Structure 1
Amino acid sequence: MSNLVGAVCSGSAAEILRKAVERLSADGYGEVGWLSAGGGDMVHGREPLRVGALASRWAALEAHSVILRLDWQAQPGEGHEAKLESQIAVQFRGAIANTAPVADHLLVQGITPLDLKPASLFAALLRWHLTLQPDLLRAVHAAVHELKGVFSCAVMSRAHPQQIICATQHAQMLLAATPTGTLFADQVTPLQPLANEFIRLEHGDVARLTPDRIDIIDIRAMQAHRVPEQIRPDALVPDFFQHYMEKEIREQPIILADSLGQQGLAPDLATMLGDEAARNLPSVESVVLIGVGSSGHAALTARYWIEALTGLPTSVETASEYRFREAAMPRRALVIGISQSGETIDTLAAIAQAQKLGALYTLAISNVADSSLMRATHFGYCTEAGPEIGVTSTKSFTTQLLALYRLALGLSRALGFVTNAELATIESELAQLPESVNEVLRLEPQFAQWAHRLVDHPLLLCTARHMLYPIAMEGAHKFQEVAYLHAEGYPGGELKHGPLALVDRDLPVVACMPWNRHAEKLLTNLQEVRARRGELFVLSDAALAAGERFNAIRMPAGLRGLNPILYAVAMQMLAYRAALNLGTEIDSPRNLTKAAINE
């Protein structure tokens, strides 16, 4: 999780940015990368986020223009570095989906990027376009529209120190004017203390900010006018969402893209976990995954990935039960504890039990870098989903899934289990992931129609097969948490072992059914439901025709092993829309807390 913020001022930008960044500093952002222009020079730096010290530094540099990238609890050495070249400087958030074709094109033009990270690649591409088009605004527009992906970026130039160019593709970018200058940010919070209204860029827009003016060109490179929106300083939920849950669901494309851009599509173990992990983890002979609640569902999903990509025997344990078992530890086991907060008492106790039982190595996956779980294990990986205010897990769940998938892939590479051809296919699918999640979010009107009908029933079943079965369980979990509906998740093959007895015209069944080798089996299970007058609501990437008691929503196709992430987002949105219909306490469901720290 990161945020871009910046300002162009007629005088020093230090004070205006101090006020903007103070609103974010309490949310857990650990480091800031910055670029400044002023006093006849461009300067860059990266350091811990201390607002007062940074403002003093920019004031001393006489900085009129500053671009910041704030990173959530970044570990040392992580995060995007600002790219400062002889004439231009770039900050970037997100990922480029067509990295290889763009890099090949640049090589043909005689330009070699410093590396293939998004900021470096974009800087090299922009440098080439500036040889064709000296106007910075037009050159940025041309460069951005050669790229595919979910991202936002900001550029400054030595030749024009009182200009910042902002651009966005499928990501939020907001602009505002103040008496002393203009600002940009990718959320409303930094703008609230400084402006009364803002402009929201649309997909493909590129904007030029100067101290007293904002100019925008659209995806066709035509001058554009965007209608200002009012900032409500008393808004309970920022960015004009009704609830934090909705905001956090909609943040997922850019958060997933930023994670992919930060460490690369398929990072090795050293990049993810450090050199010691890269040396030692290839020696493990089994894997044990431990979690509860949503983290337990992430563990169940990861079992399919780890076994398929590494061949290592993998088991999943419920932390609240494992801690009391006299379990037999598998030979040379890597035990992975998963917890969004890193403070879940059952998971902490289960990891301690695993260590007593002789686990070879332990690994924590958490959204909090300095949590108790991260300190208790040999290795740790911070998912960096950013602050999640809603009690129910949304973006922290999908970032767990992405982390576990890439961990499985890193182990596979270390073990020599994946071929180069397979790795290239997987990287292509990872590059496509953020935009595919955006496509799922664009289906919200259809989810709203389904939700309106689902809430009229006293019971709801969710079902799927193979690696989608844990996502069906997670979907039922979401309906329970935020909509207070009695929902149950079952594997498709288990419907005939009890749940079919419940089926009648009052029982809706929601199915996750990507069209693969398991689809026909699940379809047979679903026909049994339909034959007993149950109503089907099927999420599938196949073109299924709706019929009597059969409803279908067409999901994005082509992601194979990453489908659990797409269908998880769909189930989150469906549960959220159901809760809206029922008027429940969505962000703080009754009887639930964010971190289960008590017995």
Structure 2
Amino acid sequence: MCGIVGGITKNNITPLLVDGLKRLEYRGYDSAGLVVLTSKNILQRVRAAGKVVNLENSISPEVNGMIGIAHTRWATHGKPTIKNAHPHICNNNVGVVHNGIIENFLALKTQQQAQGYHFTSDTDTEVIAHGIHQALKNCDTLLQAVQQAVTLFQGAYGIGAISPKNPGHIIATRSGSPLVIGLSDKGNFIASDQMALLDITKKFIFLEEGDIADITLDSVTIFDKNGKQVEREIKISKLKSGQVSKGEYTHYMQKEIFEQPQAIRDTLESRISKNKVLTSAFGHNAKTIFQNTEHIQIIACGTSYNAGLVAKYWLEDIAKIPTHIEVASEYRYRNPIILDNTLFITISQSGETADTLEALKAVKKRNKNIHSLTICNSAESSLTRESELTFLTHAGPEIGVASTKAFTTQLVSLALLSVAIGRCHNQVSEQQEAVIVDGFNQLPNLIAKALEQEDQIIKLAKTFKDKFNALFLGRGAMHAIAMEGALKLKEISYIHAEAYPAGELKHGPIALIDKDTPVIAIAPNDELLDKLKSNLQEVKSRGSQMIVFEDETSNVMPMDGMDIIPITHNLGRITAPIIFTIPLQLLSYHIALIKGTDVDQPRNLAKSVTVE
């Protein structure tokens, strides 16, 4: 969600702060701001609503200093206005940026108003600035003030703070919201995401829960949640600055759609060998855990939830393990029955999804006889640290808010998992495994072939110019793929779209079908094909425009007002959901272009949802 960048250097920090914010734009935001501590030891702040470029154009020459913090805000408390934009300043003596939500801010605000503090925003963050300022009255250093103030805050936070009272220091702390420290010969930096600093350094320290760091030009001192000084490992990032550029593509989303063949090759690399899935790829004790697994619970949000829905079909079909899936934001607030020998699987592109992370923490407290596995795209994320087993997708940086390659690599990862568990339970023979692995090896080329249908899809997209609703249909695992297609269309084109199991049409949704509501159907050549064809006849008789993405061997009968796009052929139960995802991504992308929306940064959305 929100983005934090800060640093202390030997030269003017302002250009580096602006550049860092630009690199975090993909996370989603609605305002931006920065504050620097000038050579005269004065806090100089600039804020702007809208894009980072608006902030950049508002910066005057006097906003110049060697130490500063900056922020892109995604509105939670208070409208997306300049007064609510970060940084927040208290009495010209404390500057603060904050990711997360302070849940007890109303009580703190009432208390601080009684102490004489004046509030200039509607945000929860302002209580942080006032709280640190109040503590600073009785402390010798900004570090001590932050250590004292954070004991008041309930909720999630990643905080960067500076003060004229303690120049030359940035204090950074995290609890439930990620924060990293970048180390460089140019100085030292903080950020909510290492991508903000890739042009400056590859050396990072990932703060752990409750850590508070005192950062100067040439030192970093870290204290844990108990106030004890600790050493945290310095890690070298493998990301490259060029990986987060659009290159020859118009949008990040377009680039990431076309990167999927390589992303899947990278995800499969070192995970399959000699016609076998390597169970050890899930962790050194994965085999024992899988052998003892009797139940599986999947928790995820958004696109990752759709991937989990597909995995439920695979795990029950291939591994013969009872599998349940639930949206994390609902699961964490009820009292589920957690059976012993359950494998608790979390799925998250960033590994920082707040609801998913908190659900895992809650489950671990309630039942000690479960094992946990996370599937995510970030090696240094909170979920990887919290989980017993980790399987990393190798999608590479995904900048577009609407997930594409992260989704398909999640599917590949979950398919590998299904085979590995199935083999551990003697449900998958060597011959079956060899056939499935052969399908994995064919995936990159099959996706490349599906991408060749782009020209036809562009023509279909033009028919959506004046559409405001759409229905997606699928059966079996393809219902989950239809859900993902509908989600993509909603996210980036703002067309209202819903997905239904095709067999449910007669139970209500068919009432929505008319000439102004296009229907998109997925028709693989599987055991449900004939029933799907009957459903398509029902739709067509109601006068709807139809688009059918089919296996070349499905032989859907053409009808007036129906466009049939063959995608590929002879797909199996694992490869089919992955391949049929591709045309739905392309369709949503090109409809969004026609609608003129902000494809990479759609309104109201954030890439990493790190708050509830």
The percentage of aligned residue pairs carrying the same residue is 39
3-state secondary structure, aligned to 1:336: strand
Q: In structure 2, the residue corresponding to 1:262 is in which secondary structure?
A: coil
**Aligned counterpart in structure 2 of residue 467 of structure 1, from 462, 465, 477:** 477
Q: Distance in 1 between matches of 2:420 and 2:433?
A: 11
- Cα offset, 1:450, TM superposition: 1.1
- Mapped contact 1:328–1:357 kept (Cα < 8 A): no
Could you tell me how far 1:271 is from its partner in structure 2? 2.8
Residue number in structure 1 paired with 2:260: 252
**Are the counterparts in 1 of residues 468 and 495 from structure 2 also a CA contact under 8 Å?**
yes
Q: How does 1:397-416 map to 2 (within 5 A)?
A: 397-416=407-426
Matches within 5 A, 1:450-529: 450-529=460-539
Q: How many residues align?
A: 371
Q: How many angstroms apart in 2 are the aligned matches of 1:277 and 1:565? A: 25
Q: Do structure 1's residue 581 and structure 2's residue 591 form an aligned pair?
A: no
SS in 1 for 2:270: helix
Deviation at 1:364, TM superposition (A): 0.7
CA distance in 2, matches of 1:441, 1:543: 21
CA-CA distance at 1:281 after TM superposition: 2.0
Aligned to 1:392: 402
Deviations 1:381-418 (A, max 9, x none): 11021011111111111100000000111111111111
Shift in Å, 1:543: 3.8
- 1:551 equivalent among 539, 559, 563: 563
Where 2:269 maps in the other structure, the secondary structure is helix
From 342, 345, 357, the counterpart of 2:354:
345
Contact kept? 1:267, 1:406, Cα under 8 Å: no
Pick closer, same or farther for the CA change 1:450–1:377 going to 2, 3 Å.
same
1:566 maps to which of 567, 579, 592: 579
Provide Cα deviations, 1:427-460, integer angstroms capped at 9, x if missing partner.
Answer: 2211211100001100000111111113322210
TM-score, normalised to structure 1's length?
0.60
Partner of 2:364: 355
Secondary structure, counterpart of 1:472 in structure 2: helix
Q: Determine the C-alpha separation between the residues in 1 that align with 2:266 and 2:489.
A: 29
Q: Distance in 2 between matches of 1:259 and 1:340?
A: 13
Residue identity in the other structure for 1:246: Q
Residues 375 and 267 (structure 1), Cα distance of their counterparts in 2 relative to 1, 3 Å cut: farther
Question: Does the aligned pair in 1 maintain the 2:297–2:345 contact within 8 Å?
Answer: yes
Alpha-carbon distance in 2 for matches of 1:470, 1:578:
21
Specify the code of the residue in structure 2 equivalent to 1:298: A
Cα distance, 1:356 vs structure 2 = 2.9
Structure 1 SS opposite 2:374: strand
Q: Does 1:299 align with 2:308?
A: yes
Secondary structure of 1:317's counterpart equals strand
Secondary structure in 2 matching 1:544:
coil
Given the superposition, is the C-alpha separation of residues 274 and 236 from structure 1 closer, same or farther in structure 2, using an over 3 Å criterion? Answer: closer
Asked if residue 596 in structure 1 is aligned to residue 606 in structure 2, the reply is no
TM-score under structure 2 length normalisation: 0.58
State the partner residue of 2:325: 316
Query: Once structures 1 and 2 are overlaid, which stretch shifts more, 275-284 or 362-371?
Result: 275-284
> 1:577 and 1:246 mapped to 2: Cα distance?
9
Query: What letter corresponds to residue 523 of structure 1 in structure 2?
Result: K
CA drift of 1:267 comes to: 5.1
Superposition RMSD on alpha carbons, in Å? Answer: 2.3
Tell me, what secondary structure is at the counterpart of 2:285?
helix
Moved segments of 4+, more than 6 Å: 233-236
| Residue 515 of structure 1, CA deviation | 1.4
Contact (CA 8 Å) 1:451, 1:577: kept in 2 or not?
A: yes
Structure 2 match to 1:223? none
SS at match of 2:288: helix
Gaps of 5+ in 1: 1-25, 28-191, 193-232
1:476-525, CA deviations, whole angstroms, 9 ceiling, x for partnerless residues? 00001111111111111111111111111111100011011111111111
Residue in structure 2 matched with residue 418 of structure 1 by the alignment: 428
Deviation at 1:256, TM superposition (A): 0.8
In the alignment, which residue of structure 1 is the partner of 2:158? none
Indicate conservation of the 8 Å contact 2:266/2:394, yes or no.
Answer: no
Cα distance in 2 for residues equivalent to 1:422 and 1:556: 22
Question: How many Å separate the matches in 1 of 2:243 and 2:358?
Answer: 40
SS in 2 for 1:275: coil
C-alpha separation in 2, matches of 1:578 and 1:465: 24
Structure 1 equivalent of residue 247 of structure 2: 239
Give the distance between the partners of 1:261 and 1:356, measured in 2 at CA.
35
Contact 1:337 1:365 in 2 (8 A): yes
Structure 2 partner of 1:336: 345
Q: Which residue, out of 275, 279, 282, partners 1:273? A: 282
Which residue is equivalent to 1:284? 293
Kindly indicate whether the alpha-carbon contact (under 8 Å) linking 1:290 and 1:338 is maintained by their aligned counterparts in 2. Answer: yes
Look up the equivalent residue of 2:363 and give its one-letter code. Answer: A
- Name the CA distance, whole Å, in 1 between partners of 2:335 and 2:408: 32
| Deviation (angstroms), 1:572 | 0.7
Paired residue secondary structure (1:569):
helix
**Preserved contact between residue 288 and residue 335 of structure 1 (Cα < 8 Å):** yes
Partners of 1:294 and 1:514 lie apart in 2 by 21
Tell me which residue corresponds to 1:533: 543
Is the 8 Å Cα contact of residues 525 and 570 (structure 2) preserved in structure 1?
no
State the Cα deviation string for residues 536-569 of structure 1 (Å, max 9, x = none): 1100112435330211000111221221111111
- Whole-Å separation in 1 of the counterparts to 2:570 and 2:504: 27
